[in-house]
Structure 1
Amino acid sequence: MNLRTDDIINRTVIMNRLDSITSEMGIALERSAHSPIFAEACDFACCICDAAGDLVSQLSGIPILATAGSFSVKAVLKKYGGVIEDGDVFIINDPYDGGNHLPDIGIITPVFYQDELLFFCVSRAHHGDIGGSTAGSYNPKATEIFQEGLRIPPTRLMKNNEMITDVLELIRLNTRNPEMLTSDFLAQIGSNRLAARRIKEMLGTYSVATVKKAVSESLLQTETLTRQRIAEIPDGTYTAVDYIDDDGFQTEPVKIAVTVSITGDRMLVDFTGTDAQVKGFINTSVVTATCAAGIAALWFLGKDIPRNSGAFDCIEVNLPEGSLVNPRLPAPMTLCTLTPASEIIGVIFKALDQAQSGRVSAGYHRYLGPSFYGVDPRNGRYYVGFSFCSLGSGGAMAGHDGKPYMATLSNFGGVKAPNIESNEVQYPHLTLHHEMDNDTAGAGEYRGGSGMKYAFEITAETGDVVNFGDGIKFAPYGLRGGHPGSKNRSVFVHSGEEISMESKEAPRHAVKGDRIYLNTSSGGGWGDPHKRAPQKVYEDVLDDIISRETAEIVYGVIINETGIDYEKTEKRRKHS
């Protein structure tokens, strides 16, 4: 066996081992966390960066958080530089300095071996409350970031493996549920420690030089593959626009414009033409916008490309200062990891579909669901809950129907819907129904996933509800002749009165017996619905995904009591 073969084997084994370690981090975090957001919804991500802060592995968690790990580490390196020591742990959440949005808190643990800094282990997770004027930290009426919660710049949280209690206490005093926050911090720290231990075990097998070489060669190999894939796209300029309902203040839609330019092996994603920053909390941090652009581009370029800095560094992103995607202080931005991150990905899909069709999906649902908070009468404890059960569905793409009931594009299905029974134990409410919604899926040769119907009743004597999200005015788009999906709808029944809620509302007071009804948006369709196989249409009718009327009117498929009438179907499609 020659030396080059040894290098290839070592690189493959070491990089797969690092991926395995990030997966184990996620399992540890899920099983040790206190809050339902971690333990049930899995709204977190874990990654490993090298000593320079470049992303090496991010196998566990949701992409919009995992890909941001590198930004957080580089923010720590910029501030602390050569004074990082073994036994340190850092914390960060500031979206103006390496963070996504305030609820996503990063815990960063440097890994030393033989007195050399080699890696950083990063866990980023969405916490139930990080202060601010609204419990849960989603405040649709915030006009500046200071109203959204506590900003934490890169800060040392532990030294010599001991908690810096002054820092922890400062954070605890600014949150509504300090015990849960502390418990979840410990889960993140523990997850990082587990990863650090596994890395050191690996370094006991392979020399430091071998591991460093494997990592650097892997990043270079990924960059080479990514640039090869970019070079396969026809040179050109591809443009698209999409719209957000509003910002919660203005009634006009907010535009996201993108131009994707391909020149040889260079890809530039330019957001010139995007609307200026707005008053409300849909502005997005540079970190979130950059990560969303990278996620979209890499989906298009191929799933076999490792999601590390070698790939992301190939995607050039221009974010005009003062725009929605690069706002100036003190713009609020808590919603940004949902909206506009998902819309950024979607609008890039629409642009790149012009270059080569069939490689991206039609529009995904947009998140819309309330948070709810108050005191649980069963135990006297303060709670903050999120409607993770109000997920919608994915868009179709060439050869595949959209996946039903999944998280938004920015999370790529990574956030999970909690168990209904667990939800009712954790929060004072009762689920009334939770099911797919008939005749909502975006029609096409390949159809989108169906929208959902979800409703719950509040069982606490009093509480508050905050509705946040998007997609009431704009439906998920179809591609290549596919139909758009359905829109979101949200109804609050307060003391017997039905109130249609906007997508971004100030807190509403609720009382026992109040109900919330949610119709979540479906995925867009791909291709001409008349090209959908009649048998698939018939199966959708049998599964109650579409009605017989929709089968006839939209798909041109005639169904009688015994099945498909192929003769009438052929005539219907021919004359439609």
Structure 2
Amino acid sequence: MSTVSSTEYDPVLIAILQRQLDHISLQMGTIMIRTARSPIFSQSHDFSCFLSNADGETIAQADGLPIHSGSGGFAVRAVLRDFAGRIEPEDVFILSDPYAAGGNHLPDWTLIRPVFVDGELIGFCSNRAHQSDIGGGAAGTYNAKATEIFHEGIRLPVLKLIEKGQLRDDLWRLLLLNSRCPDLLEGDLGAMIGSTRIGAQRLADIVGQLGVKKGNAYLDALLDYGERRMRQAISELPSGTWEGSDVSDTDCFKIVDVETRVKLTIDGDTMTFDFAGTSPQIRGFKNSGIANTHSAVYCALSAFLDPDIPHNEGTYRCVKIIAPEGTTVNALAPAPMTMNTVYPAIDIMNACWGALAQADPERACAGWGKSVFGISSGKKPSGGVFVLYHWHGSSGGGAVKGRDGFPTTSHQMTLGGMFIPNIETYEQSYPMRVHRYQMRSDTGGAGQYRGGTGVDYVVDVLAGGEHLLRGEGARKPTGAGVNGGQWGAKGSIKAFDLGSGEELACPPYGVEEVEPLHLVIEASAGGGWGHPHLRDPDAVLRDVRDGVVSRQSALQTYGVEISADGKSVASTETRGKSLAATPHVQ
């Protein structure tokens, strides 16, 4: 329960303070984009900035990816645990390990800087960022052949990277030595350090203006306010128990069902997610640690409920998560888990969304298409290693009430927070040539609000090396429709030797040695929301003009006939009968 009543603190000051802290996170992100060396940061924004109080509870996380920052408190509390009594001004800590340090997966390195005012620890500023390469069995950090975490790259417990303002040169050299891209890593770590320095200065200024005692009290009040808002939102839902699940059909080595199952219980103003019945941890690298599982649940819940609820850790005090040890949602060492921020995080979200949709169908979130794009890496002509993420092959997002799904966006657990880079800039940064990049037709799940289409992505990778495959969305539709909406289309991936034209093997997951190759991706599509015959006919006409819905589908699926000149629409008799037969769908 909340420890502070709503009348004890000035509500206007609480609102202003939350906005100020959120803005600090945004400032840190801007610094990171402008100073980081890797395109994965400067263009794609695969990092997150967040602030914590002195107890390690997250108080602001306005900038970045929810799957990153939702588990940030685990990492900060690991610093408090491992360095109790040894945290000094101008220290900076670094960590990554999901078992020992509250990390989510190894490529996400977290820099954590303590913040002091008048000699007293008042909080922390953190930046969690996905590094281009951390060693291990495959360039680019995703080793689909891994069967132990030791195959996935360097593991970082909580370490002091900077001690009382002095960089530890020995540790710095160790980190650079364990990356195939030390030039990128050195610049990116510098950007992370700079972002936390500015963030710490801003946080110290705000708390200093209030005074340490009052400032700390108001930081706690922010958490209490978040808790009250969440309890209020939960209490507006019906009490009861509902179940949801999602199933992957591969453990990265063979075709097998891997189920994520959840039982949602709402009891007044509290909520419990119980993952009993989820499949045992698997051989491949799609296992989740406890911090990542919490983050995935929070991500699903934040997308489902009122977006104005503060995204601080107090918000989730009334949410209980039961994740049995030894399952894919709470794997035991040394299970590999580099893929966990994507899968099973998305599977966890889908299971939670399925259960939540039964509690409140109007807020239901349609499923996003699961990815079929991978990563290419190889030698640069000038020396060194390039790591090319094929973000442009990203899938379509699921629809919600009032909005169509994004036509293409990064993985579902980013909720649109990761950017798709500019094609021309990417061609200048990597040895590649893009032949086609366009939205697919008749693929987005039909509905009152249509699912995102996904894209056709055709590209030549002009240098040989490795290609890392991940085709979760290539064998079956994965973007579930809701409330009468249809599922989005599945995706596909094909690869050909650029010289001979020979088609190459594309298993669901793999690390393949390749020569220059021609890559053809049909990205999977998101699900629709509501019955297709409830879609505004003018919206169907716009889709036809845009080429994302064909005239035939407009007629057969949406019950809308387009005039010969493409300027007007008419509803068919079938559409009218369907609408009359489904009055419950709004």
Give ranges in structure 2 of 5+ residues lacking alignment. 1-5, 580-586
Give the corresponding residue for 1:308: 312
Equivalent in 190, 198, 203 of residue 207 of structure 2:
203
Coordinate RMSD, CA, aligned: 1.8
Structure 2 vs 1, CA of residues 418 and 565 (structure 1 numbering), >3 Å: closer, same or farther?
closer
> Which residue of 263, 268, 289 maps to 2:293?
289
Tell me the secondary structure at the aligned position of residue 134 of structure 2: coil
CA distance in 2, matches of 1:51, 1:69: 14
Q: Paired residues, what number?
A: 570
1:232-311 maps to which residues of 2 (within 5 A)?
232-311=236-315
For 1:191, the aligned partner's letter is S
Tell me, in whole angstroms, the C-alpha distance in 2 between the residues paired with 1:275 and 1:204: 50
TM-score normalised over the length of structure 2: 0.94
The reply on whether 1:515 has 2:528 as its aligned counterpart is no
Task: Give 1:245 shift.
Answer: 2.9
Q: What residue number does 1:473 align with?
A: 475
CA contact (8 A) 1:281 1:336 kept: yes
| TM-aligned CA deviation for residue 301 of structure 1 | 2.5
For residues 13-60 of structure 1, give each alpha carbon's deviation from its aligned partner in whole angstroms, at most 9, with x where no partner exists: 322211111110000011100001110100000000001000000011
1:173-224 deviations in Å (ceiling 9; x for gaps): 2111112112111110100000111122223422112211211111111111
* Rounded Cα–Cα distance in structure 2 between residues aligned with 1:187 and 1:553: 53
Q: 1:78 maps to which residue?
A: 81
Once residues 224 and 479 of structure 1 are traced to their aligned partners in structure 2, the CA distance between those partners, rounded to angstroms, is: 30
Residues 398-445 of structure 1: CA deviation (Å, up to 9, x unaligned) = 222112211222111111111112211221111111110111110112
- CA distance change for structure 1 residues 565 and 35 in 2, over 3 Å: closer, same or farther? closer
Q: What secondary structure, in the 3-state scheme, does the structure 1 residue paired with 2:83 have?
A: helix
Q: Secondary structure at the match of 1:20?
A: helix
> Offset at 1:532?
1.7
Of 12, 18, 23, the residue aligned with 1:20 is: 23
CA change 1:439–1:500 in 2 (3 A) is farther
Choose the corresponding residue for 1:135, options 136, 139, 145. Answer: 139
Equivalent residue letter for 1:521: S
1:94 pairs with 2:106: no
Matches within 5 A, 1:32-111: 32-97=35-100, 98-111=102-115
Please tell me whether the aligned partners of residues 14 and 211 of structure 1 are also in contact (alpha carbons under 8 angstroms).
no
Letter in 1 for 2:485: G
Q: TM-score, normalised on structure 1?
A: 0.96
Partners of 1:503 and 1:527 in 2: CA distance: 32
Looking at structure 2, the residues matched to 63 and 104 of structure 1 have their Cα atoms a distance apart, in angstroms, of: 13
Question: Which amino acid in structure 1 is aligned with residue 467 of structure 2?
Answer: V
Distance in 2 (CA, whole Å) between partners of 1:459 and 1:73 is 42
Q: Shift of the alpha carbon at 1:560?
A: 3.5
AA matched with 1:350:
G
Whole-angstrom distance in 1 between the partners of 2:316 and 2:575 = 48
CA contact (8 A) 2:91 2:114 kept: yes
User: Is it true that 1:492 corresponds to 2:491 in the alignment?
Assistant: no
Q: CA deviation at 1:136?
A: 0.8
Distance 2:17 2:568 in 1: 58
| 1:434–1:454 Cα contact (<8 Å) kept | yes
1:422 maps to which of 422, 425, 448: 425
Residue 503 (structure 1) aligned to one of 493, 504, 508: 508
Following superposition, the deviation at residue 63 of structure 1 comes to 0.7
Deviates more, 1:351-360 or 1:564-573: 564-573
CA distance in 1, matches of 2:20, 2:567: 52
Is the Cα contact below 8 Å between 1:370 and 1:468 reproduced in 2? yes
- The aligned counterpart of 1:556 is 559
Aligned pairs for 1:318-467 within 5 A: 318-377=322-381, 379-460=382-463, 462-467=464-469
Deviation of the 1:568 alpha carbon: 6.8
| Contact 2:440 2:453 survives alignment (8 Å) | yes
Aligned pairs (5 A) from 1:559-574: 559-563=562-566, 569-571=572-574, 573-574=576-577
Q: Deviations over 1:548-572 (max 9, x none)?
A: 1111221222223035886671246
Tell me the distance in 2 between the aligned counterparts of 1:343 and 1:319.
14
Secondary structure of the residue aligned to 2:572 is: helix
Unmatched segments (≥5 aa) in structure 1:
none
TM-aligned CA deviation for residue 575 of structure 1: 7.7
Cα distance per residue 1:463-488 (max 9 Å; x no partner): 22111251123321110111100112
Residues 66, 415 of structure 2: 8 Å contact kept: yes
1:120 aligns with 2:139: no
Conservation of the 8 A alpha-carbon contact between 2:560 and 2:570: no
Secondary structure of the 1:366 match is coil
Whole-angstrom CA distance in 2 between matches of 1:51 and 1:6? 20
Q: Confirm or deny: 8 A CA contact 1:485 1:524 kept in the other structure.
A: yes
Q: Describe the superposition over 1:509-529 as per-residue Cα deviations: whole angstroms up to 9, x where unpaired.
A: 2223x2111111111011111
Give the whole-Å Cα distance in 1 for the aligned partners of 2:218 and 2:551. 58
Pick the aligned partner of 1:225 from 200, 206, 229. 229
User: Is residue 2:527 matched to residue 1:531?
Assistant: no
* C-alpha distance in structure 2 between counterparts of 1:526 and 1:45, whole Å: 30
Deviations 1:52-100 (A, max 9, x none): 0000000111111112211110011111111111121100000113001
SS of equivalent to 2:259? strand
Preserved CA contact (<8 Å) 1:393 1:450: yes
Letter in 1 for 2:504: I
Paired AA for residue 291 in structure 2:
V
Query: In the alignment, which of 523, 526, 546 is matched to residue 543 of structure 1?
Result: 546
Q: The residue matched to 1:368 in structure 2 has which SS? A: coil
- What is the CA–CA distance in structure 2 between the aligned matches of 1:400 and 1:389, rounded to whole Å? 22
- Structure 2 Cα separation of the partners of residues 13 and 529 of structure 1: 43
